[in-house]
Amino acid sequence: MKHFAGIDVGSLTAKAVVIDENNRILGSHIMPVGQDSLAAGMNAYAQALVKAGLKKEDVAAVVSTGYSRKRFTEATMQKTEISCHARGVSVVFPKVATLIDVGGQDSKAMKIGKDGKVLDFAMNDKCAAGTGRFVDVMAHALNLTLGGLSDAALSFKEELTLSSTCTVFGESEVISLLSQGQSVPDISWAIIKSIADRLVSLVKRVGIEQDIAMSGGMAKNRALVSRLEDRIGFDIHVPGEPQIMGAFGAAVIAKGE
């Protein structure tokens, strides 16, 4: 049986996935990029191979994606993260027509056709608001982990509004709200609402259709998914491990599908 791999080296994390001919994930790994994106990609790939019980020579083809995809010279080919996320999610959820992908430095909305073909997309890559980086900064200001921010937001009692969309001003506003005695859960929910509202605007640019999925690390944020569902009006499908969908899609493309 042949094996295939996908490497997704993003701005904050490197992800690697090894699959078999039936799209079954044999091994995967996620790790911080740090200062050397190439080394992070290589290490993630090596760890995924260990988990799969395979060696490099056992892999027939490798596709790299993400910000540093061109640095990964061992790849058979390079593909954009948009095409890889769409392909990966379409394998997990074949009927999905709309995909929201929130990465560390950008967010994307895609309209997906048959077999994961991207029909249209919109991208926010000019400002950190609505990205994983924005949430990371806001969580730090509240002395919370990313998971802690989500949990806190779900226990809010008062509806607050975060007016600043810029990361720098948003952090200052969060600190100001704390000094006014506002609760951490209420501020956390205001942050989630701010991100969700920006994402909804992004999705509307490609058209909201039922059968919506979300990929990327922020899809693990239950509060954000819940808020998006309320705003969009549809349930959102989230893969078991949404952060590896780009790498998984890259591996599927490496298989030649």
Domains defined for the chain, CATH in brackets: 1-93+243-257 (3.30.420.40), 94-238 (3.30.420.40)
| 131, pLDDT greater than 90 | no
Instruction: Quote the CA–CA distance of 21 and 29 in Å, as a whole number.
Output: 19
Residue 14 to residue 50: CA distance in whole angstroms: 16
Q: Which two tokens stand for residue 79?
A: 């593909």
| Six token digits for residue 193 | 């609402």
Per-residue confidence band for 127, with pLDDT thresholds at 50, 70 and 90:
low
From the list 101, 128, 108, 138, the residue with the least C-alpha distance to 248 is 101
Q: What is the pLDDT of residues 71-122, one digit of tens each?
A: 888 888 999 999 999 999 999 999 999 999 988 778 999 999 988 999 999 9
Per-residue tokens: 98: 């709309």
Q: How many CB atoms lie within 10 A of CB 103?
A: 26
Cβ(30)–Cβ(243) under 8 Å?
yes
Going by their DSSP bridges, the two strands 236-237 and 212-215 should be labelled as parallel
Q: What percent of the chain has pLDDT over 90?
A: 70
Neighbours of 94 (CB within 10 A): 11
Neighbour tally for 240: CB within 10 Å: 7
Percent of the chain with pLDDT over 70: 95
* Phi, psi angle pair for 147, to nearest 5°: -65, -35
Question: Distance between CA atoms of 21 and 1, rounded to whole angstroms?
Answer: 7
Q: Which structure tokens are listed for 215?
A: 């990929």
Give the confidence band of 5 by pLDDT, cuts at 50, 70, 90: very high
Q: Is 5 helix (H, G, I), strand (E, B) or coil?
A: strand
pLDDT at 133: 81
Amino acid identity, position 108: K
d(CA 214, CA 229): 11
Q: Provide φ and ψ at 78, rounded to 5°.
A: -115, 140
Please check the confidence at residue 165 and state whether its pLDDT lies above 80. Answer: no
How far, in Å, CA of 151 to CA of 92, rounded?
27
**pLDDT at 85 (0 to 100):** 96
Beta bridge partners of 121: 110
- Kindly report the length of the chain: 257
The one-letter amino acid at 184: V
What is the structure's pLDDT at 73? Answer: 80
Structural contact between residues 184 and 142, judged by C-beta atoms closer than 8 angstroms: yes
* Beta partners for residue 110, in sequence order: 99, 121
